[in-house]
Structure 1
Amino acid sequence: MVVYPYQRIPDKISAGLDPTWVIGRSEHGWMTTETFYQYIGNVFHPYLLENRVKFPVILFVDGHKSHLTYELSVLCSELKIEVIALYPNVTRIIQPADVAVFRPIKVAWRAAVRKW
């Protein structure tokens, strides 16, 4: 989901996105409790069903307040999605993608820049 700060998404933006992506809206273009709730219920869960993913699933999120609401907790319980919140403000250190995926890319990028 790409979140934009528009009341109405311009046609050239929606036409330029990959059709498998979803566009969200918020006042400032940031993830909010509403956009995250909509994403889980209208995008993430249908994606899991469509791809025949076995439930329950675990979803790791950072500790941002938009990911941790009572309403989202109820929805995820009903949909058999277990939400695991990582500690806020330290996700750059412990976030699985940062450690397993992005760190090697960052290291290689730095080495390429130094070499260049």
Structure 2
Amino acid sequence: MFCGSASGVVLPVYVYYKAVHLYDSWTEGGPTGFRYNRSKNGSFNGMIFEEWFHSVALPYFRKLDKDSPKVLIGDNLSSHISMKVINECKENNIRFVLLPPNSTHLCQPLDAAYFRPLKRSWRKVLD
């Protein structure tokens, strides 16, 4: 999972595997700051979202001015709707905004502003 800020900061990448167990050998030698997890069926579920929020997003937000409002934008994946995360957002002056259903292909910020230009550049190199 990739996450970035409007100021251009890319947060640590969150890698999750389809597996029952997460083995140390899967994380050894990985890039600094990457976080790892797993789910039995490979889906990004509520438990993984909460762990991502607490281990990646919240530490980033806590480095910012406590009194300034912050925004976390998510798609409408049901696992992103967590009372634990919503309450943490309220406590840390974070506005948690979900994109409208069936609109992520049009307005997903990382897809539109980061991955689309990256893919375009890769295609030029590969052609």
What TM-score range do you get, normalising by the shorter chain? Answer: 0.7 to 0.9
Q: Mark the CA change 1:6 to 1:16 in structure 2 (over 3 Å): closer, same or farther.
A: farther
| Corresponding position of 1:98 | 111
TM-score of the aligned structures, taking structure 2 as reference length: 0.72
- Structure 1 residues without counterparts, runs of 5 or longer: none
- Identity score, percent: 29
Partner of 1:45: 58
Unaligned runs of 5+ in 2: 1-13
For 2:87 and 2:36, how far apart are their aligned partners in 1?
24
RMSD: 2.2
Give the structure with the larger helix fraction: 1
TM-score, normalised via structure 1 length: 0.78
Distance in 1 (CA, whole Å) between partners of 2:56 and 2:122 is 33
> In structure 1, what is the equivalent of residue 3 of structure 2?
none
Question: What is the aligned length?
Answer: 112
Deviation at 1:5, TM superposition (A): 2.4
1:28-66: CA deviation from partner (whole Å, max 9, x where unpaired): 2221111111221233212333xx312431111111111
* Structure whose CA Rg is larger: 1
CA distance in 1, matches of 2:81, 2:72: 12
Matches within 5 A, 1:1-116: 1-49=14-62, 52-55=63-66, 56-110=69-123, 116=127
Q: Is the 8 A contact 1:41 1:75 kept in 2?
A: no
